[in-house]
Structure 1
Amino acid sequence: MKEGETVSQAVETEEGRGEMMRKRRRKSIIRVFAISIVRYIMYIVIMLYNIYYICTVKNYYIIYKYY
């Protein structure tokens, strides 16, 4: 962005547009990564909870069966 140029003029030029797109793209990529990581963590937590629940239920079932 040259001195004395307004934002709209800078955006109109190819360099300005490229810069804006690059910034926007980086932000969107970060957002997508954050969403996917959160989803992945939630999935892992749910999996672990399910495994824990199944194990405890099975153990109780086995204990109940034996006694």
Structure 2
Amino acid sequence: MPKLRNIALTVQELEEGEFYWVLLEATDSMMEDALPYLPVEAAVKPYSNYGDAWVAGLAMIRKSFGREGPRA
């Protein structure tokens, strides 16, 4: 089975009251005390609250990667 990719979900409030989900993937670059991530995909329309944006981001993970998760 292919290796599992390291994907993270976050929510950003770019303007007051406008929340966007963002999917990030860990890079192979090493930093002293951090694991760097790069954006993979993001919402194109804002959500009115953090919770709705987070749930929509989780739905995108499930839609994009299925039950087996993000495999390389």
TM over 0.5: no
Structure possessing the higher relative contact order (Cα contacts under 8 Å, 6 or more residues apart): 2
Structure with a larger share of its residues in helix: 1
Structure with a larger share of its residues in strand: 2
TM-score normalised to structure 2 length: 0.27
Larger Rg: 1
